[in-house]
Amino acid sequence: MRSPVSDYDLLAPANLGSALALLAGGEGWRPIAGGTDLMVLLNAGTLPYGRLLSLRRLSELRDIFVTGHRVVIGAAVTYTEIQRHPVLHAEFPLLCQAASWTGGVANQNQGTLGGNIVNASPAADSAPPLLVHDATIRLASLAGDRTIPYSEFHLGYKTLAMRPDELLLAIELPRRPEAWRYFGRKVGTRRAQAISKISFAACARTEAGRVSEIRLAFASVAPVPLRCFATERAVSAGPSQDALHALISEIAPVSDIRSTAGYRSLVAQNLLRQFLETLL
């Protein structure tokens, strides 16, 4: 049953300082941007947050900045804006690909990269590309800004390395001058508007027929989006069979309404094998 709208308070601060002051007040304000997940919960009558803080008016969160060494994506940049940005399209194709997977066109026009991150779903489409692109998260509060590697941001299921008084300000991606090969796949019930059973993002460089550097990341195979460091080391050190064994020991899929643990484990191995075959 849909929740009555009158049960909720909504504020839309005009600037970042006002938003941070409200969060610092400890009065239970919950930041929202696109609100795509919020509307699902509202219609189901299960929205748990009574005080909502809209970030849509904060220009500090809406831009994409490009420097010689990095790209900085504001937390309220939408999936559509990501797909249309020429530098992101050319240098960070996995992120643009994941943005095209997320919901339909309406969701992509409204939903934001920062919202997908702080929603903290282990099935988030943006998570594997951010992990392989070595993203850094920038957080803001009245006490000051701080940064943290995205690979350290998820502490557990729906648990983040983020204080209640902090706001996700931006996502930073280092630009790479070297030539990398990219691979991304999402496995779901449908081609569009489906939560993934499993998704995979990978990139690598090769020299003389060998993998010299590699990044591997999965969603929906663990309580958090997972960068597979042990599997990466196994790929660099030896034959692909060793990498598959490492992957099996590194992931921890579960069975739920979308899939089974066994299916997810098998598909993860198949996706890794397919990527390695394209490299070698």
**Predicted local distance difference test score (pLDDT) of residue 208:** 78
Q: pLDDT per residue over 85-94, tens digit each?
A: 999 999 999 9
What gap in Å lies between CA 135 and CA 154, rounded to an integer? 13
DSSP code, position 143: T
The DSSP string of 169-191 is EEEEEE---S--EEEEEEE-SSS
CATH among 3.40.50.10600, 3.30.300.20, 3.30.465.10, 3.90.1710.10 for 59-174: 3.30.465.10
Task: Indicate whether 199 pLDDT > 80.
Answer: yes
Q: pLDDT per residue over 13-35, tens digit each?
A: 999 999 999 999 988 898 988 87
What gap in Å lies between CA 104 and CA 127, rounded to an integer? 18
Q: Average pLDDT for residues 184-197, to the nearest whole number?
A: 78
Q: What is the CATH number of domain 181-279?
A: 3.30.390.50
Give the pLDDT band of residue 57 (cuts 50, 70, 90).
confident
Q: What is the CATH number of domain 5-54?
A: 3.30.43
Q: Where are the domains of the chain?
A: 5-54, 59-174, 181-279
Q: Average pLDDT for residues 147-168, to the nearest whole number?
A: 95
**Predicted local distance difference test score (pLDDT) of residue 227:** 96
Q: Average pLDDT for residues 264-275, to the nearest whole number?
A: 95
The percentage of residues in the chain with a pLDDT greater than 70, rounded to a whole number, is: 96
**Predicted local distance difference test score (pLDDT) of residue 239:** 63
Q: Average pLDDT for residues 116-145, to the nearest whole number?
A: 94
Task: Indicate whether 76 pLDDT > 70.
Answer: yes
Q: Average pLDDT for residues 73-77, to the nearest whole number?
A: 96
Give the pLDDT band of residue 193 (cuts 50, 70, 90).
low
What gap in Å lies between CA 79 and CA 97, rounded to an integer? 10
What gap in Å lies between CA 245 and CA 100, rounded to an integer? 32
Task: Indicate whether 117 pLDDT > 60.
Answer: yes
Q: Scanning the structure block, which residue is given the tokens 């240098």?
A: 91
pTM (two decimals)? 0.92
Q: pLDDT per residue over 211-268, tens digit each?
A: 889 999 999 999 999 999 999 999 988 767 889 999 999 999 888 888 899 999 999 9
Tokens of residue 267, six digits: 């598909």
- Answer whether 243's CB lies under 8 Å from 269's CB: no
